[in-house]
Amino acid sequence: MSFKRIKDKLDQYTIDIRSTKTNNSLNEINKIEEENGYYISSDYKSFISEYGECWIEDNVYTDLREKPVWLGGESVPVELFYGLEQNDYDIREAIKTYKEQLPEHIIPIADADGGDQICLDVSEINQGKIYFWDHELRDGEQDLFLIADTFTEFIEGLYIEEEVEDSETGAIDIQLSDDLLAMLKDINKD
């Protein structure tokens, strides 16, 4: 997979690269891979070496191949890619933060707003697949929704979604969990 395809796509957006470029980035990501027994795809390794921690300043979104019922036709925002800067947005910190919540072969690589994550499969079998993880669900593998088969495919699928203000006010559809509905019913009984 050509890194040029990733670079050409990302050149379409305003990107705030917060990483200090060093020749050590590839060594650092290889070290993460070796220490944890991960199989990190070469296209993602090239990306993190070149871009590291970066924020996409445009309203960039991705679509999911597998959509959770609650998402409907909406897309998922992509705001920040973790880097190797030893700060709050360091991929190593993100891996530690979500270690207990994500399956062991899934690591977070980008923030998708509100605590949701864009994740990379680092297993040997599904190496490089990209998933959306909903942090409010609690069923492990069931909380992951496929975005793309490769990191390159994921990047190529990004697009800008213009915000449209709706001047009409209408009904709002809110989906609540069964536990919350039961709790609300109990409150109303009193």
Give the CA distances from residue 112 to residues 10, 79, 82, 135, 138, in Å, rounded to whole numbers and listed in that order.
17, 6, 11, 10, 17
**What's the CA gap between 125 and 54, in Å, rounded?**
28
What's the CATH fold of domain 3-189? SMI1/KNR4-like (3.40.1580)
**pLDDT for the residue 173:** 46
Whether residue 83 contacts residue 54, with contact meaning beta carbons closer than 8 Å, is answered with: yes
- Give the whole-angstrom CA distance, residue 75 versus residue 91: 24
Model pTM score = 0.81
153 backbone dihedrals φ, ψ, rounded to 5°:
-60, -40
- Placement of tokens 């690589």 in the chain: 109
Taking only the tens of pLDDT, the chain with its 190 residues reads 579 999 999 999 999 998 776 668 889 999 999 999 999 999 999 999 999 999 999 999 999 987 766 666 678 999 999 999 889 999 999 999 999 999 999 999 999 987 899 999 999 999 999 999 987 666 655 689 999 999 999 999 999 987 666 555 555 445 555 555 556 666 656 5
